Amino acid sequence: MKFVVPYNPLSQTIYYNLRMIVCAPVDEGREPIVWRITKVESTQEYGLLNVTMAQDLFDSNRDYVGRDPVTNKVTDMIADYYSPTTKDMSALPEVDPRTLPDYSLTLKYAGIKPVVKVRGNFKKFTAIFNDKHGNEVPNVFVDEWKVELDGVDVTTLEDNPFAIVTSNEDDTLTANQIKVKTASDEMLGKVLTITATKDGLISSQNVEIVGM
């Protein structure tokens, strides 16, 4: 399923691998339809966020369906409402939106398309922080970069086919930059997911591996 929403601070909370329930109210005993974000694209049409979702499984240990105690009508349907690390599965506390940072995080890349060419040069990605007015915020830096292939962190692969360079290895890069390349023909056609995180902010970019 695909949908398009305006690109704004609210829609920027939508990120790769996020689970959500998008479904009409269900009768008691029936499971709602759960979806997982498989692709987020914000570069093709300025001002719009294109999102692709695949259907996922409802998990009563993680997902929540609330009902009115009097009418038994559905009041809430929330994916990942319960903490998977809490044994008693108590509900996660609601977050006051006023406590959220008033800046957004997006990823930009060098070149026209988000691709890495086999045996090509490094592809550089830069994390950009903007305030609620769209102004770039200085001196705010990414906490963690992650590069994944089919949901697996490539740095954990026994024979990692990717060269990944951050500011720890290259002093010409800032903490808000990362560059990636590969020389493996076996990676042709595969899709990397590059993710930057800062506090509660997450931004991901899918990157296709192509030939020269």
Quick: pLDDT tens for 135-166.
787 778 888 999 998 888 888 888 888 899 98
Span of 100-109, 159-168, 170-179 with lowest mean pLDDT: 100-109
Among 103, 99, 98, which Cα is nearest to 132's?
103
Domain regions of the chain by residue span: 2-78, 99-210
Phi, psi of 167 (to 5 degrees): -65, -15
Query: CA separation (Å) from 144 to 8, 38, 154, 173, 178?
Result: 23, 21, 14, 14, 11
Q: Tell me if 72 sits within 8 A of 28, measured CB to CB.
A: yes
Kindly give the pairing relationship between strand 115-117 and strand 201-210.
parallel
Q: Which amino acid is at 143?
A: D
pLDDT at residue 90 above 50?
no
* Superfamily name with CATH number, domain 99-210: Immunoglobulins (2.60.40.10)
Quick: pLDDT tens for 10-47.
777 788 788 889 888 888 888 899 998 888 787 666 67
pLDDT-derived band of residue 111, with 50, 70 and 90 as boundaries?
confident
